[in-house]
Amino acid sequence: MKLSEAGIARVRGYLFVLSRSLQSRLPRHVARDAEREIEAHIHARVAETDAAGDERLALERILAELGPPLRVAQAYSADKNLDVAVSTGRLIPILRSIVNAAFATMFGFIAALFLFTGYVAGAAFLVIGLAKPIFPNNVGFWRVNGPLSIPSSLGFKWDTTELPAGGNWVILIGVVAGLALLLLTHLGARAFLSWYRERRMPEFPLATS
């Protein structure tokens, strides 16, 4: 089937909405490649359609099978982010993929909860270690059960006359523990996403073609 001007306009309108949605979720060059790939898929489907049929009905059927542009962009970007997260280990695609997994399955939600806890805990330790030289009298180990108790709380404390325990060891503990937690959490996130990708069906098959 060869599209008329009305059919071409309909495809362009679909691709326009798709392009805007893809660009809000993916790097520009990836979004452009995705748009071209989906456009080629649409034209291939049109070319396979019987020319004797109703063009409008055939085109609407093709676009309906593909899905609404917003949904296509969401599914395509989710699959692409997952591929990039597993192959490169970059932080932003990993975080986006973890969020997508959290909304997809209960196990994904539980895994995301543990992983985000690990990232936040690692960042907190790192901030404590780096803040110790800047606020030496406000960062360290604090007594939480009275003046004779063992210092057991590590963190910040502002309105106090008590000096924290730990000294410069707090810097080493915070930085080492923070970096270790961040590294282990990141490796765990990448391993989880690799496992998750192998066991899920792609939301948009063209994204993995």
Q: Using one digit for the tens of pLDDT, what is the confidence trace for 173-199?
A: 999 999 999 999 999 999 999 999 988
Confidence of residue 203 (pLDDT cuts 50, 70, 90): low
Locate the DSSP E strands across the chain.
Answer: 139-142, 153-156
Give the Cα-Cα-Cα angle 60, 47, 16 (nearest 5 degrees).
Answer: 50
Entry pTM? 0.75
Residue type at 175? V
More confident residue, 78 or 172: 172
Half-sphere exposure of 2 (CA within 13 A, CB side): 0
Contact 86, 197 (CB under 8 A): yes
